[in-house]
Structure 1
Amino acid sequence: MLIIRFILTLIASLMLTACNATPDPVTLNTVKTGTPALWKVSGTKPEQKGVAYMFGTIHILPDDVQWRTPVLEAAIAESDTLVIEVLGLDDTRNAAKIFSRLAISPGQEKLDTRIKPSLKEDLDRIIDSANIPERALNRMETWAAALSLASAQTKSLGLNSSGGVEKKLTAQFEKTGKPIESLETIELQLGYFDKLPEAQQRQMLTTVVEDSSDAQQAFEELFNAWMTGNIDDIVTLSDGGILSDPKTREYLLVARNLNWAEQLDKRLQKPGISLVAVGAAHLVGPDAVQETLVKRGYKIEKIQ
């Protein structure tokens, strides 16, 4: 489930926003003050004129935490552009339309037939607690049902998408009139999961169901690793689940990271300073975006 939370919570946030039910508050065992990882990227060749600060984010946050630091605030102040994963999630009506168009297909099997029999009771329990009509889930493709149930579990922890790092950074850049750009569209990001083979989609659903009883602990581990800038822990947490399958990892993580590195390379060949704020899982380990930029001649400094 951890990797689902790292990579999918950005899109899950649009469904969290649309959910009207407000659960009772949950006491989370999370670090209150931290130093999330931040890198500086600069060129070593004449044509590499730009600079980028790369900030690994987590898309949904508890309310009572201090993740901003003087080093990060200085990078924000110096940057003239914010680059995030996806734009347009604030338009929840349009985002929900895109989700529905990709997620709902005729002729879907009942959801409980897409999972092994030993997990059916757990699936029923999750559906009941999620407050999502089973008939709605039965109409969804498997990836979308898995995502809906995962986001409902996050909602049950009392987390609100309005407190996410990207939303706060976006509001800050909008206030100062600085441009905000994205690396992917909503359609493109959802499309990665929509195009997964059914076997991989069912593995996503299985992971959500199997890990449902540990949802709070899973989020706490993920959040604390991010908050403390613990790269090793983030790598460990990112290696399991659906990304343990090499083909799925290549498709959902590696290929996207390479695409982002290509976009950033083009950006860095022009003057300017960008703050690139993307999910932390994309910036750690051997497949990190920075690793590709190093191969293209850029200097990478971890400054926090």
Structure 2
Amino acid sequence: MVTRDLPMGMIYLAQTTAGILGNFSLLSHYLYLYFTGCKFRSTDLVIKHLTVANCLVILSKGVPQTMAALGMKHFLSDIGCKLVFYVHRVSRDVSTCTTCLLSISQAITISPRKIRWAELKAKAPKYIGSCNILCWMLNLILNVMVPVYVTGNGSDKNITKKTDYGYCHSVSHGKFTDSLYVALVLLRDVFFMGLMLRASGFMVFTLYRHRQQVQYIHGTNIPSRSSPESRATHSILVLVSTFVSLCTLSSIFHICLAVLNNPSLWLVNTSALIAGSFPTVSPYILMRHDSRVPSLSCAHLRNTKSLI
């Protein structure tokens, strides 16, 4: 193992460990809420899908990258490389899609109780599960070409290797094809980020207007208690702003990797670290702002309901 790879391997290991612990803790939190009879919010199903997607991103990217940085270079076959990259791309795109869906569903939840919003607020929870499944199905289909661009280190095919990830290679299929692929990926990311920013702007405006109304009713000297909807909205706003920032950086590095021939190891490592940042930090953001901490209150509510 090269000495300079050891610090990078330890960074990957720390990020991967933190990400796995965070996402599995969040899944355990929802299991606890289920078995104690707590009432779920309309956005909880989206968060579960987001957490599963983040786990797959970390396992398909962070684990191989850590192993490669620690000196294990040929642990994946050609088929293994194609499968790992395919799972990573699908789960990464599902993470983008579900984060967008999360912001939109929360914007609908806190929307004003007017006639034009009432019907949408009533129907939206019924279609959340279908939208999540649609996200998975669409990304499974749209990323079907990803394995074509990946080959294992041990492959003896006569191809021009473009990017060395340490354990696999991505290959070039011509400047035009590569540029078209990058353009389509960026167009999709920009579309989802645009929807997220629009929904986030609507939530900020709604919360600001609600706060002004509360201050007018109660007076400026009486602090109003934050509602569960407000806390959930703050959590999603922090999550979306973090996602947009990291996704923008990741897209910039992704363009560099796609355009440059034989990019440097520093560029590859930095791109991998940024790609794994959101799946790592997102569960901690969600748990930090979730007021439903483990307690006996939920179990008490369930037992009370059973006696009625």
Greater per-residue helix proportion: 2
Greater per-residue strand proportion: 1
Identify the structure with bigger relative contact order (alpha carbons < 8 Å, sequence gap 6+).
Answer: 1
The question of a shared fold, defined as TM-score above 0.5 by the shorter chain, is answered with no
Please classify the TM superposition score into its range, dividing by the shorter chain length.
under 0.3
TM-score (norm 1): 0.26
